[in-house]
Structure 1
Amino acid sequence: MSRIDIRHDHTLSTEAARDAIEAMAAKLTDKFSLKTQWDGDALAFNGSGVNGQIELLAHQVRVVADLGFPVSMMKGMVEGEIQRVLQEKLA
């Protein structure tokens, strides 16, 4: 199993950051067929071969994901897509 752990700084308000995480989750859900659910300030997600969460911290978002074998072979692509969407939504 492979793991992704990305931290991304932002200057948004908590509400704006939460909205951005929702938008990011929608993009990733479409692309990777994920299911999501909020638990406090963390958005848990899971799908075929991937489980993790997007955690809203003070001035930072942390994305942690465990990738199953088939998805781990595309780790670089998945990581790049997460970073691209974080940059787009939290800029």
Structure 2
Amino acid sequence: MADIRITQAHKLPHKKAKAAAQKVADQIAEEYEMNAEWEGDVLKFKRSGVSGKLTVSDSEAHIEISLGFLFKAFAPTIEQKVAAKMKKVFGAKA
């Protein structure tokens, strides 16, 4: 079960929405040292203690993040940072 769930509406064409999702993933991967790979329209990411997926549809991007025990204390901070990144990347052109 995910500890963090964020949905961000967008009005981007599908290709640009996937590029935006990749940008969010790249930023998160760099900050939290994660690996990420696409499976269709779902970008799955993982590292020790953190896993999740970013799903892109025609009108929204939805991210779910599951945190291990040691990261649960940082859930509010992580959620705030990820929500801000998603709003910036997906909402900027919406």
TM over 0.5: yes
Please, what is the CA RMSD of the aligned residues?
Answer: 1.2
Aligned to 1:49: 49
1:1-91 equivalences in 2 (<5 Å): 3-90=3-90, 91=92
**SS of residue in 1 equivalent to 2:11:** coil
How far does the alpha carbon of each residue in 1:31-89 deviate from its partner, in whole angstroms, 9 at most, with x for none?
11110010000000001211110000120000011100111110011101110100111
Tell me how far apart the structure 2 counterparts of residues 43 and 72 of structure 1 sit (CA, whole Å).
22
Contact 1:49/1:68 (8 A) holds in 2: yes
4+ runs of 1 displaced by more than 2 Å? none
Count matched residues. 91
| Percent of paired sites with the same residue | 24
Q: Secondary structure at the match of 1:44?
A: strand
Matching residue's letter, 1:62: H
Q: 2:2 touches 2:64 (CA, 8 Å); kept in 1?
A: no
Unaligned runs of 5+ in 1: none
TM-score, normalization: structure 2?
A: 0.92
Using structure 1 for the length normalisation, give the TM-score.
0.95
Code of the aligned partner of 2:18: R
